[in-house]
Structure 1
Amino acid sequence: MTSDVGTKEHPWQLKTPPQTSEYEMYQSEKDGKAILVCTVGKTVLHYDYRCIEDLHAMLKQYGDWIELGSADEQKPAKEGTVEAWGRSPENPIGGWYGLKKGFRGRFGMYVPPLLEALGLAEVEHNPRNNRMRAI
């Protein structure tokens, strides 16, 4: 990977864990804060950039496979999943890593493949109920 991958000009080209949809992500800044911009079709989501390091640290501490459990913001996240952790008051930022109201969910769908691309995690690619673990 070249050092300019992950920029707006050269975004990470990713696929959802089931490998059914393509999307891209890149690092940007908004209101002085580092963010991940995730573009899925015409939908644009933003996540706090800290989620990469924080999720990797949580996975290392957990030490085993953990279910992704992706869900839209309006739906409850299954307990004990990456999605639930990504919106929990117990995580390092004390709540949602998703930053755009109404589009804060799907953390468990779009962030794990980035950690896999960065060589920080393994992600399963089954039709559903995928899991991930730290490398």
Structure 2
Amino acid sequence: ADTVKLMVSGQKVDYDEETTIDFAGFTDEEDSEEEEQHEDEEMDEDWTNKELVLEKYDLKSFSEDFMRQVIDFVDQAGPGSKHGRSWKAIHHRFRTIPNRHYIPHFRKYLEHHGTKRQKTQNLDELLYKKLIDAREKSLAVHDLDIQRWGLRIA
């Protein structure tokens, strides 16, 4: 009521608005064990198991060994088969492969001894080992040395 009277009288009114976000049941204190158990029950079970996440949400890069297993399985067709195994059989055995178009890519990667990413990861690992060996021997290592090692390894 006082605010309305001030506005009608024409006096200058300073108005400050404070907006906050209220979290239901949020406290700064430690959560009780009962609340933690309840929160754990509400969590998506798929995201708690890392292997399931990698498989289900296709967050996994296929290793060279895995690609080799898939191609070997595809090529081991029965005596009456002309075209290799069916997609249904392949997908049943290797559920992480989303579709049949991955198979020719796997063949190409195996011909070239892995994907570009796998090759760079191997190069990084070898360079890192070489760098650690040099540092353990108290040798000075410069950028040009690392570049030269990388070119030799590649």
Whether these two folds match at TM > 0.5 is no
TM-score range, shorter chain: under 0.3
Q: By percentage of residues, which structure has more helix?
A: 2
Which protein has the larger Cα radius of gyration, Structure 1 or Structure 2?
2
Q: By percentage of residues, which structure has more strand?
A: 1
- Higher relative contact order, structure no. (Cα contacts within 8 Å, ≥ 6 residues apart): 1
TM-score by length of 1: 0.27
